[in-house]
Amino acid sequence: MKQRQHDADVCAHCRANREARTQLADRPAWVKDSVFYQIFPDRFAKSDRVRKPINLEPWDAPPTFHGYKGGDLLGVAEHLDWLSDLGVTAIYFNPIFRSASNHRYHTHDYYRIDPILGTDEDFDELLAACHERGIRVILDGVFNHSSRGFFRFHDVLENEEQSPYVGWFHINGFPLKPYDMDEPANYEAWWGLRALPKFNTDNAEARDYLMRVGEFWAKRGIDGWRLDVPEEIRTEGFWEEFRERTRAVNPNLYIVGEIWSDAGGYIDDGTRFDGTMNYPFTTATIAFTVGDRIDTSTMMDNPHYDVAPAIDASGFRQRIERLLAHYPDAATLANLNLLDSHDTARILSIASGDDDAVVLALTLLLTFPGAPSIYYGTEIGLEGGLDPDCRRSFPWQHEGEWNGRIFDATKELIALRHEHPALRSRAYNILWPPDDGDGSMSFAVERSAGEDRLLVVVNAGREREKQSINRDQLRFGSADRVWGNAELTPGANHTTVSIPPRAAAIWTLSN
């Protein structure tokens, strides 16, 4: 009898563990239905209610590596109606914690808001205002490294081997040389940058500190973490523990990793991250829609940012099919898809000012499975080359200079995405070009969710193209064009699509 009771207890324990693991692996359902907007806090908007230091750069002046513009959190709060009207339902903020850099990836204090951005109360006001509008808030977590100004590292600088925090970092010897470039630093730093001492995440105290930071902001009410360079943390079980502890606070917390290459080991089973910043989608889309229009000065020295050479529709199809086949459906729907970010040149500048290319890229972005992310200003055609130029201030006072075509396309495509479940589903049935390729520059895909079906067609070429899609591939009774410019002619055996050069169109299909 005791043995049977023991076996029953063991089975119950195993079931509980399995249920807990399943819950951790569940991706938040809200992500796939969201439209994200990435904000670089120093450059989006500033409020008169936030006190500022004197030595700020003029808002409209070209950005520099070290200068501050004075953007703040209440500035964001005062522009939430703009974001809601655009269709934004989630904001991803670049770091907002105390730091000695305008980008704030050099963290001084993980528990406090940077004073140039405002106060802790300002953050609470912004968070509440976002949630009142149904906008979720994702923070940037920089847990691989801190900064020279981080209290524990500063203690090591002062007290050397007698510091109680010496084990928090990878120290190779003393004295440390955080500023003297002619001497060895004597500590490990991210990419060798002395300003960014790397945490020793094998150290139990340091590890628990970072876990508690994740829990703290989850308790404050954030909706997710974007994790900076998470591949750099190689401590076994670190990210599994981070997920378990933060998801215990908020089971719907979204956790997305910045992984430029293959993120399979991090997102496949959902025990680390829900999704990744989907740069493979970014690069394939740019190589197709921008093609040979690319401004070579905007190309990054990054082997994973392969936006050149240009590809035709067959090349795009191949790259997208590989991408979709590589990740489980749940991960695909939780990926953060983007065209540009604070780490890349802006899409309009990449395209040498060709707004046709931007509209085509936006069409592919906003009709792709996963969560689309708009980098602040992309919707009005804000330009910018590589860092720091890609971090220009939002030109609120120069509305007459905004690109109305890009803005209208962004807003209309976001509205279509919200209206149609098909655009938020995993089903992505590529219809054109043929598998064997024909040099075509046009691409067609059916998106579906139950009875909701749409046909999306993009022509990235310089000539009008006609597609002949077999009726066995695409059966429908009638088609209604809801966006764009193209002609669709149903036939007995084939549907013919005639699409002008550098154009896109979307139809709803009914049986």
Model pLDDT, residue 349: 98
Model pLDDT, residue 341: 98
| Predicted confidence band of residue 5 (pLDDT cuts 50, 70, 90) | low
Q: Residue 57 pLDDT more than 70? A: yes
Lowest pLDDT segment from 77-81, 352-356, 433-437 = 433-437
How large a percentage of the chain has pLDDT more than 90?
Answer: 93
Contact 241, 211 (CB under 8 A): yes
Model pLDDT, residue 435: 79
pLDDT digits 0-9 by tens, 191-234: 999 999 999 999 999 999 999 999 999 999 999 999 999 999 99
pLDDT digits 0-9 by tens, 272-300: 999 999 999 999 999 999 999 999 999 99
Lowest pLDDT segment from 70-84, 185-199, 430-444, 473-487 = 430-444
Contact 457, 504 (CB under 8 A): yes
What's the CA gap between 121 and 254, in Å, rounded? 24
What's the CA gap between 468 and 431, in Å, rounded? 10
Q: Residue 14 pLDDT more than 70? A: no
Contact 382, 353 (CB under 8 A): no
| Predicted confidence band of residue 10 (pLDDT cuts 50, 70, 90) | very low
What's the CA gap between 130 and 96, in Å, rounded? 16
Model pLDDT, residue 394: 98
What's the CA gap between 126 and 93, in Å, rounded? 12
Q: Report the Cα–Cα distance between both ends of the chain, in Å, rounded.
A: 62
pLDDT digits 0-9 by tens, 357-389: 999 999 999 999 999 999 999 999 999 999 999
Cα 471 to Cα 448, 488, 489, 509: the distances in Å are 16, 13, 12, 13
Model pLDDT, residue 214: 98
Looking at 2.40.50.140, 2.60.40.1180, 3.40.50.11540, 3.40.50.10320, the CATH number of the domain 427-510 comes to 2.60.40.1180
| Predicted confidence band of residue 492 (pLDDT cuts 50, 70, 90) | confident
Catalytic, out of 114, 140, 258, 383:
258
Q: Residue 253 pLDDT more than 90? A: yes
Q: Where are the domains of the chain?
A: 18-144+204-422, 145-200, 427-510
Q: Give me the residue label for tokens 């919707």.
A: 379
CATH class of the domain whose range is 18-144+204-422: alpha beta
Mean pLDDT of 45-63: 97
CATH number belonging to domain 145-200 = 3.90.400.10
Q: Residue 502 pLDDT more than 90? A: yes
Q: Is 81 a catalytic residue?
A: no
Model pLDDT, residue 85: 98
| Predicted confidence band of residue 177 (pLDDT cuts 50, 70, 90) | very high
Mean pLDDT of 250-271: 96
pTM for the predicted model, two decimal places? 0.95
Q: Is 446 a catalytic residue?
A: no
| Average of per-residue pLDDT values in the chain | 95
What's the CA gap between 142 and 212, in Å, rounded? 13
CB atoms within 10 A of CB 148: 18
Q: Residue 21 pLDDT more than 60? A: no
Cα within 13 Å of Cα(100), Cβ side: 9
Which residues, 6+ apart, have CB-to-CB distance to 295 below 8 Å? 345, 349, 350, 351, 352, 385
Exposure string over 184-197, b if 16+ CB within 10 A, otherwise e: ebebbbbeeebbbb
How large a percentage of the chain has pLDDT more than 70?
Answer: 95
DSSP secondary structure of 167-179: GGB-B-SSS--SS
Model pLDDT, residue 497: 97
Catalytic, out of 42, 223, 228, 343:
228
Model pLDDT, residue 432: 95
| Predicted confidence band of residue 24 (pLDDT cuts 50, 70, 90) | low
Q: Residue 419 pLDDT more than 70? A: yes
Lowest pLDDT segment from 22-31, 354-363, 424-433 = 22-31
